[in-house]
Structure 1
Amino acid sequence: MTTGKVLYLIVCAAGPAADVCRLVTLAQAEGWVVQIVATPSALDFIDVPALEQQTGRPVRSRYRKPDEPKPARADAIIVAPATYNTINKFARGIADTYALGLLAEAPGLGIPVVVLPFVQTALATRIPFLRAVSDLREEGVRVLIDPEESEPHCPWSRTLEVLAELTS
């Protein structure tokens, strides 16, 4: 049984993923029960055993089997670091992984979503990416990037500040 607000932290395969434990610590300090959901490629970027120990929950990267218990529903979602691929697929409603399936449903379920991109400038200035950011923002998703001044960075605490604005 889960007590407290449940935060799904969706982690993508980008350099800062190795340091996502810092975001977990910050979220837990604010009272969130953190469930890590990793894209399949992100599993190579994170320390799964350490994150499972830190959160007390299994890192999820695939849909559950019929005999496995259903996880607690997210009260909010942070995608950090979010890659070019994940952002574009999320905006288009593509649900070809467990993480993207959760994201595809979130706006329709009214679950607040904050996206912290980690995208190279060359990709962040492309029209498909700019459209994806715009489309997500139209649906109420908070994407923490200014496409005109994009540089890869991961201000973990900023994601929680924006999440607090959305959930208060």
Structure 2
Amino acid sequence: MTEPIAPAKKPFLYVVVCASGIAGDVGTLIAAAQECHWDVGVVATPQGLGFLDVEAVEAQTGYPIRSAWRKPGDPRPLPPADAITVAPATFNTINKWAAGISDTLALGILCEAYGMGIPIAVLPYLNAAQAAHPAYRQSLERLTEMGVRLGSYEPHRPKADGGAQRFRWTEALDLLEPEVVGRANA
């Protein structure tokens, strides 16, 4: 008699969500990732949490949204990440992350992921005035040096509608695919 074959474990994707007007559309990325056979958990920045429909996101993923550190001895609500995407990634989060600042759970996870070799894709979403700041360019350079894969969104005009229609949520999956496929075949 042959032993039953256990179903293959799906890779686990952390989606880090920042405080942005388009954050409420993160379900688009979650659905696309699930269609590509990812399990998904959401980690929100403390301010980003207010931009999400928490109940809807938790129902879609089957996991609680993480936003705060857990206490010692508390169970881990999410499995370890096989990959991470930051979408939408704000000016603030990108600059703090590149500088190694770990003052929120989301930033702590991102800072630690580099040392653990976890593939990361980032989809910046900010206006052109913020993007013109020298710190932003330096932060993108540092993240690129760290192996982070950057999305192609072009910053929108300040005080404009924000270019939400141009934001390509699923680009994160395209950016991660070569890395994840390479790890699976290793």
Shorter chain as normaliser: what TM range? over 0.9
CA–CA distance in structure 2, aligned partners of residues 41 and 12 of structure 1 = 7
Partner of 2:145: 138
What letter corresponds to residue 18 of structure 2 in structure 1? Answer: C
Bigger Rg, which one? 2
Deviation at 1:104, TM superposition (A): 0.4
CA–CA distance in structure 1, aligned partners of residues 113 and 152 of structure 2 = 20
Deviation at 1:68, TM superposition (A): 1.8
- 1:15-72 CA deviation, whole Å, 9 max, x = no partner? 1101001110000000111010000001110000000000000000011122321231
Deviation at 1:86, TM superposition (A): 0.1
1:75 to 57, 63, 82: 82
Deviation at 1:145, TM superposition (A): 3.8
Deviation at 1:125, TM superposition (A): 1.5
SS of the residue corresponding to residue 40 of structure 1 reads coil
Paired residues in the alignment total: 165
SS of the residue corresponding to residue 103 of structure 1 reads helix
Partner of 1:63: 69
More helix by share: 1
Give the fraction of aligned pairs with identical amino acids, expressed as a percent.
Answer: 47
1:20 to 19, 26, 34: 26
What letter corresponds to residue 59 of structure 1 in structure 2? Answer: I
- Segment drifting more, 137-146 vs 73-82: 137-146
Partner of 2:173: 160
Deviation at 1:150, TM superposition (A): 3.1
CA–CA distance in structure 1, aligned partners of residues 30 and 72 of structure 2 = 28
In structure 2, runs of 5+ residues without a counterpart are 1-8, 157-162, 182-186
In structure 1, runs of 5+ residues without a counterpart are none
- 1:125-167 CA deviation, whole Å, 9 max, x = no partner? 2100000000000010012147xx5335420121111111221
User: With structure 2 as the length reference, what TM-score do the two structures score?
Assistant: 0.85
Partner of 2:112: 105
What CA RMSD, in Å, does the superposition of the two structures yield over aligned residues?
1.5
CA–CA distance in structure 2, aligned partners of residues 9 and 154 of structure 1 = 16
User: With structure 1 as the length reference, what TM-score do the two structures score?
Assistant: 0.93
Deviation at 1:4, TM superposition (A): 1.4
Partner of 1:30: 36
